[in-house]
Amino acid sequence: MDYTVLILLLPFLSFILLGLLGTKLKPVVAGVAGTAVTGIVAVLCYATAWMYFSAGRDASGVFPQVIAWNSEWLPFGGNLHIDLGFMLDPISVMMLVVISTVSLMVHIYSFGYMKGERGFQRYYAFLSLFTMSMLGLVVATNIFQMYIFWELVGVSSYLLIGFYYTRKEAIAASKKAFIVTRFADLGFLVGILIYGFYTGSFSFTPDSAVMGAARTMLPLALGLMFIGGAGKSAMFPLHIWLPDAMEGPTPVSALIHAATMVVAGVYLVARMFPLFIGYAPEVLHITAYVGAFTALYAAVVACVQSDIKRVLAFSTISQIGFMIVALGVCTSADPHEGGLGYMASMFHLFTHAMFKALLFLGAGCIIHAVHSNEMSAMGGLRKYMPVTHVTFLVACLAIAGIWPLSGFFSKDEILAACFRFSPVMGGIMTFIAGLTAFYMFRLYYCIFWGKENKELHAEHTPHEAPKSMTFPLMFLAVVTLVAGFIPFGHFVSSDGRAYDIHIDSDVAALSLCIAVAGILIATWMYLREDRKVADSLATKFSGLHKAAYHRFYIDEIYQFITHRIIFACISTPIAWFDRHVVDGFMNMLATVTQKSSWGIRQMQSGYIQRYCIWFLGGALGLVVLLLVI
């Protein structure tokens, strides 16, 4: 399977080509080139997936891990070395399919959305870079390669968020995203180093022989790695960058901040799952609590936001919380015993990527039509944009968890896993699932129903998006419709053996009921034009409403801690010390050297006569000396 290397090389070449020659090419040519490369990559990924899964299971009934290509990149002393390679196993193949599909759809969609933008070629170059690094991340053969591509993903995310580099908000958002995730990656790096030091390798599956000594340090290493994952996956309290990242172009939000990059943290935990379950189950449960809190927090905030992309961003945070919870509630590697969450998490990752990309791309169409992110500029758009309306509705139903859409199946598995862990966790997650249904349908009604903003629409009538934008919507909607019936447990499960997904009827009935209840409440509150109920609730609980609208002031707390405490109390004195003491010492050395050299230089005046006087003086001095002696 040597050709799999092309999956990484082609987007990289495309990035180099478009990045260097971008301005020489016509925008259309650059776009077609980038899209064609991504198309080829997608085909290769599908072929890889087909060949991998059709190759069958080995004797123990699992899909074997295939190292398609590997090379030692950086050897250290002993057995420690960093490899670069291409590993195929069920979850990496699944991720290849997800990433290439969403990336291809976003490439096609961007033709319509980014048409006429300045820097069109640059945009496609960055998309290629991102695709390459994300694919490299999932196929990494060892944790260090994963880290390298992890950082590349961070960089390309930074570049794409700050794509509109003339806008102040975009620059601030890109910096915020980069710094926050980079800060979290520090934890990841330290975790990797501890892991490498104690186990003597960077491999995902170290020898169990050497694990004896490493056993005590492994929970710490895995916990630190999870901090890195929490940064990328926007777990509380490192989630603050994701809502701001919506300043980037909407297709970028769909690709990076909904479907692929933000699930990197989930993927990391899934990748380290055997170690988590074997050596640090308590750390795994901590991740579950972090995920559950994040899911709840983000769902509450999403209920009151007025910017549609912000709502989607918080819904993404909440759904990633679901995936983390599903991984965290695993108590064993056997899916029949307590490892169901692993499969559920990966399944939800797969379905969520599809319908969340669909939601973001739909939001992009709406923004394209009304030229605003605010809900107040929308309302009653269903007449103008039928395709967007239907596909958006499909995605909303899927995320709310309505049968037979894909979200129902994956969310049901997650809830079943949670209930198996503890009824409290199951209850909380079911409640959050209800909240999800509520805020998604609030969003849906506010956009497509309700009072039309007649003044705004009179001067600029909304219109359906061009074909290049509606095609990805329809494609993803079809995927969302059928993806639930994929026998996902046959491909991915915590111990690798085939697992039949069976719907737990109690949990399914409960989650379906609460989802329908959420939808009905949203319908009751937001379908009509006046929205009396919603307004009266907002005034009744104005404190809560305001706090949730301001995201519970987390950003302000960060602002306070960084500016008032860290900058003022630590950074400023250190800066003073640096400027005055460290720099002062160096300046003193320089001044002394300069002064003394100035003195010595005076002897080299260049006046021949002055030299002669010295010469004469010297000669006379010698004579006197000879006479005296």
Closer to another protein by Cβ: residue 54 or 607: 607
Taking the complex as a whole, the smallest distance from the CB of residue 616 to another protein amounts, in Å, to: 7
Closer to another protein by Cβ: residue 24 or 598: 598
Footprint of another protein on residues 436-455 (CB under 8 A)? none
Footprint of another protein on residues 546-605 (CB under 8 A)? 604-605
Closer to another protein by Cβ: residue 24 or 601: 601
340 closest CA partner among 253, 248, 252, 277: 277
Binding mask 280-319 for another protein (x = CB under 8 A): ----------------------------------------
Binding mask 148-187 for another protein (x = CB under 8 A): ----------------------------------------
Q: Is-contact 110 512, C-beta < 8 A?
A: no
Q: Which residues pair with 203 in a beta bridge?
A: 142
Footprint of another protein on residues 599-618 (CB under 8 A)? 604-609, 612-613, 616
Spell out the residues 6+ positions from residue 25 whose beta carbon is closer than 8 angstroms to its own: 18, 33, 121
Closer to another protein by Cβ: residue 574 or 613: 613
Taking the complex as a whole, the smallest distance from the CB of residue 609 to another protein amounts, in Å, to: 5
Spell out the residues 6+ positions from residue 184 whose beta carbon is closer than 8 angstroms to its own: 227, 228, 230, 231, 232, 238
Closer to another protein by Cβ: residue 502 or 601: 601
Q: Is-contact 279 211, C-beta < 8 A?
A: yes
Taking the complex as a whole, the smallest distance from the CB of residue 618 to another protein amounts, in Å, to: 14
**DSSP annotation string for 90-115:** HHHHHHHHHHHHHHHHHHHHHHHHTT
Taking the complex as a whole, the smallest distance from the CB of residue 601 to another protein amounts, in Å, to: 11
Taking the complex as a whole, the smallest distance from the CB of residue 625 to another protein amounts, in Å, to: 20
Backbone φ/ψ region at 594: left (φ over 0), alpha (ψ -120 to 50), beta: alpha
Taking the complex as a whole, the smallest distance from the CB of residue 606 to another protein amounts, in Å, to: 3
Closer to another protein by Cβ: residue 520 or 616: 616
Closer to another protein by Cβ: residue 557 or 616: 616
Per CB under 8 A, 60 contacts another protein: no
Taking the complex as a whole, the smallest distance from the CB of residue 129 to another protein amounts, in Å, to: 52
Q: Of all helices (H) and strands (E), which one includes residue 86?
A: strand 81-88
Cα atoms in the Cβ-side hemisphere of radius 13 Å centred on 592: 5
Q: Is-contact 476 355, C-beta < 8 A?
A: yes
| Cα(278)–Cα(273) distance, integer angstroms | 8
| Cα(67)–Cα(146) distance, integer angstroms | 15
HEC string for 295-316: HHHHHHHHCCCCEHHHHHHHHH
Closer to another protein by Cβ: residue 6 or 613: 613
Taking the complex as a whole, the smallest distance from the CB of residue 604 to another protein amounts, in Å, to: 7
Q: Is the peptide bond before 237 cis (omega within 30 degrees of 0)?
A: yes
Closer to another protein by Cβ: residue 166 or 609: 609
Taking the complex as a whole, the smallest distance from the CB of residue 628 to another protein amounts, in Å, to: 22
The alpha helices in 200-334, defined as continuous H runs, are: 211-214, 218-232, 241-244, 250-254, 264-271, 273-279, 281-302, 308-328
Closer to another protein by Cβ: residue 26 or 610: 610
Closer to another protein by Cβ: residue 208 or 604: 604
Q: Is-contact 349 263, C-beta < 8 A?
A: yes
Closer to another protein by Cβ: residue 212 or 606: 606
Q: Is-contact 186 127, C-beta < 8 A?
A: no
Instruction: Tokens 């997936």: give the residue.
Output: 49
Other CB atoms within 10 Å distance of the CB of residue 480: 26
Taking the complex as a whole, the smallest distance from the CB of residue 613 to another protein amounts, in Å, to: 6
Closer to another protein by Cβ: residue 76 or 615: 615
What distances in angstroms separate CA 67 from CA 41, 141, 415, one per listed residue? 19, 8, 34
Q: Is-contact 407 401, C-beta < 8 A?
A: yes
Torsion, Cα of 370, 167, 35, 86 (10° steps): -130
Taking the complex as a whole, the smallest distance from the CB of residue 600 to another protein amounts, in Å, to: 15
Taking the complex as a whole, the smallest distance from the CB of residue 612 to another protein amounts, in Å, to: 6
Count residues near another protein (CB under 8 A). Answer: 9
Footprint of another protein on residues 315-374 (CB under 8 A)? none
Closer to another protein by Cβ: residue 505 or 604: 604
**Burial of 570: CB neighbours in 10 Å, binned 0-12, 13-18, 19+:** exposed
Alpha carbon distance, N-terminus to C-terminus of the chain:
95
Q: 3-state DSSP call for residue 84?
A: strand
Taking the complex as a whole, the smallest distance from the CB of residue 590 to another protein amounts, in Å, to: 24
Spell out the residues 6+ positions from residue 155 whose beta carbon is closer than 8 angstroms to its own: 129, 133, 178
| Cα(515)–Cα(438) distance, integer angstroms | 8
Closer to another protein by Cβ: residue 59 or 600: 600
Amino acid present at 596: S
Taking the complex as a whole, the smallest distance from the CB of residue 610 to another protein amounts, in Å, to: 9
| Cα(471)–Cα(72) distance, integer angstroms | 43
Taking the complex as a whole, the smallest distance from the CB of residue 617 to another protein amounts, in Å, to: 11
Binding residues (CB under 8 A) for another protein: these are: 604-609, 612-613, 616
